[in-house]
Structure 1
């Protein structure tokens, strides 16, 4: 069994393929965290020590034992109010304005299957997964507060999920001022924390720092998971590498503001935790009401960071993403944005589609500018009615014309936003988030619609359905291009609820769209990678990784993204050069090799301007991608070098059965008469022989994984390599 309870020791033990997790209800009813690490058996209570550490470490009134203090003990769900002065997961305020609670164990239940969370995305189980759920109930008698801790165990995926439900079962209002979903307490160890930081157009670059005494945190106050910090982190032993050392990960299945913290305390114990951002958060619960802390996916590796990535890739790809596109090849597309921007007509798009068809592409996506008065980014958002004069007919008419040349058809939308210069805003100015009497802060000349309101969501759903019901639309790019600044809804007096309820509203709208159009492929986008998180992947199986399509920068962006997210989710396109953001010029071949590392491959340039040689390169790239797409989408991904520092950026895909491998490399630095460069693959079958598909040469897997494969000497700047191998059985 993956879940067990020892009644005599009062310990809960969770087992996955490569990890054991244990916690204990102690003699005073507090839930202590004992262990999360390599597979182990027995009672790990011996890891917890007790000593009189001075009166500065308080103990609960009914304990009266100076060797006992929650300020020192490792806890499963730390809360403010019982003497733990470290960062809590829960902070509540009673109706009388006082802070604090005292949560004690009440009961538990072990049941088959994986729990779900109402209104929130989460990992799900399918038949044969052998999933189990552990529910532990804690309560505070004074407030009538109940907290249900939920643990989902997916043994084959080697992950444990955590969530919490806070319910007011008392007679007065209780306000939740901080709510996080999971923490890990370590009684000893020297650790590094890896977070994934950046900015618009340079997202998710790894930042590795030692956890020192004190606290450190990353998060988002922007109303979205953000381009600046990603809601995924890795804690690891200080010497840990890709293939050695212990590592633990936390990944938040949520797309709004978040807070991830690491704290090393006075006794050199370490706590890491993740959950909702508490800035502008104050959530009142009337008697009978509840709030759900979104899910955190946790995984442990005894053998380096690489295995953490493999675990997260599998579970997100197979048990977070849903629908027919989860396991299907994605269309190779041409997006109209960099080809046309706002300046297009239906005839111009059909001509672009014909050119794309001649190059072997699958789909044309019509980007911004097809609706209302939208000929620039100052007006029209909110009016999702096609500009028939511009398109030469309805969206369905244009889709049919594109289909006739052999391509699928997609559109761009940004439903969560509104321009002040729009019919929707003129009719319903109160539907935008704005503070009465304060001039609103604009972003890209737009405001954010209040998705916490059912009437706003209903209007957007009706508008989108009026377009999608016409038929012929296979793909939607769902964009979101600004942060939430003015947090005020006209339908509540409790503004601390708004950001959380906004996300519930977004998920409700997306769920309605996904349910009505189950075959629709939706790509998430938020100024590129501003909402690249597991929550969005529950509704959109791919996400536009970054607005920066410069291949050199994309090497770093996609490298960082790969720590926590599967390549199947990575939207990556070949764009024009010089690149519109960096001004850099990189050969078309290297741009293609970099973009093919994403499971959502395509182009974002004016195909009409290409010469014959460029067209032939694109035809070859598309044909190559079709041969390797299954490896990119489903294979194990290996980071062979860090592109930030290495002379050669290299990565690899290997099929789960080891029969196929794809080794890719791009030369990023060249010195005069430079040394030979070797790429050392991993994950091949030991003792096997592999044949290179391009020329039939055979290689020992052990030699390749020991000494590597030499690249062409001399290799020029941005020279690129793709080597396909098949195992000789």
Structure 2
């Protein structure tokens, strides 16, 4: 059993690679003493910084002890600490000051679930232990439970907090963060994944400077603009070297990540639900649980951090039969037809797809209600049999007879004003009564804080899923929340709206996905607008971006790889010129990009020529041969397109028998130097075959392989490497 050590008022959470040490101070404060590479408890202590005359202290007989410069594990507002608090609470008398002190602790085998929220799990109790530290302010009747889970085989600490009101009168949470981590003085940098719709997860690297810096989402979703992930590291760290700390929030709503460097030059990182428009009422004996923050430590750069997240999220966050299975190769009709299709057109595309060897046909938007454009029918989840030339079962059966599975697109969180549902229940749409509405894509959002709305969605979507042999669902969300207000919430609970919406969404997803375990679910929000760990808990893959341009996808998928396993990233070959950027790229370039994840096609196959069809047959055959490596292999980033003109990455099978290397040019120059691409992760003593040549693993990693072709725009190579079996 993995130990959590408690000695001399210090907790030591550790495995073979990391240590996380917490100390209970002489005054009962819970302080962070150390987080980093494996150490021993003996000799580790909280270093008390030198305070000055403007550092207030709560103990007259100990003026050198000031919480404002101490490394607190869960600091509160309005006391001696002027830095960003983890907990900001308004008490019944209107005051905000808490004196939380250590009360007790317990150590649990395994890892408990968080009620109503997704989280990393264990498959047996021997995989992890969980420390629960209870803090209490007796005078104000507030209890805080701090949860820390440490794993035997992952360099990760999972944290969340539970706040309980033990008093007779209500209190209000203004901010309840999932994690606070104070780091020692030093030079630090950080990376976040930023962008926009069709430009998601671009890497931005900054130096930590004095003051506050960070990022957030206020959209009701995790968002296209900022993913809920932060890499915090010592200055100069790179893919292979340096101490790196990852912070990833298992949450799909408004979030905020903040780094604060105050006058004592010790940075503080906080992450959790965005305090923007957040005010959560706790009545007597009510509790509130924060989302889980997953902290990963790497002593060997960003690459090792990513590999920890990849395996942890693939095997202990994603659930169900598909989490470790290679994904079926699909054809989605959206960019082929948009809303303009009938049964004959769909069958033509399916005929060609079947000949190519594609395994799954996905019918996208336009199959339900009277949906021939984006103005109507969201909420009316029944098939348009006139348009489909029959019911869904007959279409699914026709696709199945061609040797393919059948999948369907939904957007169950939305409602159109031109719909039967809106005409029957206009109050189900989010909005403020008697005030103007705000639209996006001509649609409104359903109020998932309401149980009647949630029950309707579970019932109607399940009825569709049970009506035919549907084996894949794409769950979309094509706008963010505005006019955040529920007609079912009391005025003093409207500040709970955004969080209650996400809790309602999770309830719906839990019911639908658990009752349909044989359906592969993919999340989508205009692409990557809600591609986050919270959604991965219910759906093991996400459509990375509505931008299917092969060059732009190099950046999007490279950024995604910092935290998300590539088996969870949806990637498709689309038409050329591309529909979004009008860029022309070769079919081989599009394949080289799209084969890095859950591979598929999104174009009109029935309009292609014979040469393109034959090339696609070879692509499908090749991907089927390598997709096990893509799904479960170890991922290495070799060339960063944000720094170079090229992108390259590598997969190595768990047994190191096989490796796949991808190399693409994002921006060609007229005169290029010869490139020597050094590989990673191989068995240095083994021999590997590359084409007709045999190399040692040591040579491929230390000397590398030449990429000496004359590069042009959209030049690419996929290199397959296999270990030579001794005779």
State the alpha-carbon separation in 2 of the partners of residues 261 and 3 from structure 1: 32
Contact 2:110 2:125 in 1 (8 A): no
Equivalent residue of 2:225, what SS? coil
Contact 1:676 1:714 in 2 (8 A): no
Equivalent residue of 2:387, what SS? helix
State the alpha-carbon separation in 1 of the partners of residues 616 and 364 from structure 2: 21
Matches within 5 A, 1:368-383: 368-383=365-380
State the alpha-carbon separation in 1 of the partners of residues 46 and 108 from structure 2: 28
Equivalent residue of 2:354, what SS? helix
**Structure 2 vs 1, CA of residues 211 and 44 (structure 1 numbering), >3 Å: closer, same or farther?**
farther
Matches within 5 A, 1:584-595: 584-595=583-594
Say yes or no: does 1:335 pair with 2:332. Answer: yes
Contact 1:402 1:409 in 2 (8 A): yes
State the alpha-carbon separation in 1 of the partners of residues 43 and 479 from structure 2: 48
**Match in the other structure for 1:708:** 704
Give how far 1:167 is off: 1.0
Equivalent residue of 2:663, what SS? strand
Give how far 1:609 is off: 1.0
State the alpha-carbon separation in 1 of the partners of residues 31 and 550 from structure 2: 48
> Aligned to 1:318, which of 309, 315, 320?
315
Matches within 5 A, 1:265-664: 265-493=262-490, 494-598=493-597, 600-664=598-662
**Match in the other structure for 1:140:** 137
Equivalent residue of 1:640, what SS? strand
Contact 2:31 2:46 in 1 (8 A): no
Contact 1:174 1:286 in 2 (8 A): yes
What do the CA deviations read for 1:242-270 (whole angstroms, capped 9, x no partner)? 10111000100010010001011101001
TM-score by structure 2 length?
Answer: 0.98
State the alpha-carbon separation in 1 of the partners of residues 525 and 604 from structure 2: 23
Structure 1 unmatched ranges of 5 or more: none
Equivalent residue of 1:591, what SS? helix
Contact 1:115 1:150 in 2 (8 A): no
Contact 1:652 1:681 in 2 (8 A): yes
What do the CA deviations read for 1:302-339 (whole angstroms, capped 9, x no partner)? 11111000000000000000001111111100001011
Contact 2:2 2:126 in 1 (8 A): no
Equivalent residue of 1:226, what SS? coil
State the alpha-carbon separation in 2 of the partners of residues 242 and 169 from structure 1: 48
State the alpha-carbon separation in 2 of the partners of residues 430 and 669 from structure 1: 51
Contact 1:688 1:727 in 2 (8 A): yes
Contact 2:431 2:437 in 1 (8 A): yes
State the alpha-carbon separation in 2 of the partners of residues 96 and 659 from structure 1: 66
Contact 1:233 1:250 in 2 (8 A): yes
State the alpha-carbon separation in 2 of the partners of residues 134 and 42 from structure 1: 16
State the alpha-carbon separation in 2 of the partners of residues 545 and 50 from structure 1: 45
Give how far 1:678 is off: 2.4
Contact 1:417 1:447 in 2 (8 A): yes
Give how far 1:673 is off: 4.4
State the alpha-carbon separation in 1 of the partners of residues 689 and 125 from structure 2: 35
State the alpha-carbon separation in 2 of the partners of residues 635 and 128 from structure 1: 26
**Match in the other structure for 1:698:** 694
State the alpha-carbon separation in 2 of the partners of residues 495 and 63 from structure 1: 42
Give how far 1:720 is off: 1.4
State the alpha-carbon separation in 2 of the partners of residues 42 and 146 from structure 1: 28
Q: Which runs of 4+ in 1 moved over 4 A?
A: none
Matches within 5 A, 1:133-282: 133-282=130-279
State the alpha-carbon separation in 2 of the partners of residues 618 and 244 from structure 1: 40
Contact 1:22 1:44 in 2 (8 A): no
**Match in the other structure for 1:677:** 675
Give how far 1:45 is off: 4.6
Give how far 1:669 is off: 3.3
State the alpha-carbon separation in 2 of the partners of residues 689 and 273 from structure 1: 47
**Structure 2 vs 1, CA of residues 645 and 6 (structure 1 numbering), >3 Å: closer, same or farther?**
closer
**Match in the other structure for 2:715:** 719
State the alpha-carbon separation in 1 of the partners of residues 446 and 375 from structure 2: 16
Say yes or no: does 1:20 pair with 2:32. Answer: no
State the alpha-carbon separation in 1 of the partners of residues 499 and 669 from structure 2: 52
Give how far 1:183 is off: 1.7
**Match in the other structure for 1:6:** 6
When structure 1 is superposed on structure 2, of 682-691 and 468-477 the one drifting more is 682-691
Equivalent residue of 1:364, what SS? strand
Contact 2:4 2:129 in 1 (8 A): no
Give how far 1:46 is off: 3.6
Give how far 1:713 is off: 2.5
Contact 1:51 1:68 in 2 (8 A): no
Q: Please report the RMSD computed on the Cα atoms of aligned residues, expressed in angstroms.
A: 1.3
State the alpha-carbon separation in 2 of the partners of residues 128 and 67 from structure 1: 43
State the alpha-carbon separation in 2 of the partners of residues 429 and 191 from structure 1: 51
When structure 1 is superposed on structure 2, of 412-421 and 97-106 the one drifting more is 97-106
State the alpha-carbon separation in 2 of the partners of residues 688 and 270 from structure 1: 45
When structure 1 is superposed on structure 2, of 673-682 and 240-249 the one drifting more is 673-682
**Match in the other structure for 2:28:** 29
When structure 1 is superposed on structure 2, of 441-450 and 647-656 the one drifting more is 647-656
State the alpha-carbon separation in 1 of the partners of residues 616 and 399 from structure 2: 20
Give how far 1:141 is off: 1.4
What do the CA deviations read for 1:411-460 (whole angstroms, capped 9, x no partner)? 10000000111111111111111012211111111111110111100011
Give how far 1:656 is off: 2.1
State the alpha-carbon separation in 2 of the partners of residues 253 and 716 from structure 1: 41
State the alpha-carbon separation in 1 of the partners of residues 81 and 40 from structure 2: 29
Aligned residues: 723
Give how far 1:63 is off: 5.6
Equivalent residue of 1:251, what SS? strand
TM-score by structure 1 length?
Answer: 0.97
Contact 1:110 1:132 in 2 (8 A): yes
State the alpha-carbon separation in 2 of the partners of residues 725 and 345 from structure 1: 44
Structure 2 unmatched ranges of 5 or more: none
What do the CA deviations read for 1:158-195 (whole angstroms, capped 9, x no partner)? 21100111111111111000011112101211100111
**Structure 2 vs 1, CA of residues 129 and 401 (structure 1 numbering), >3 Å: closer, same or farther?**
farther
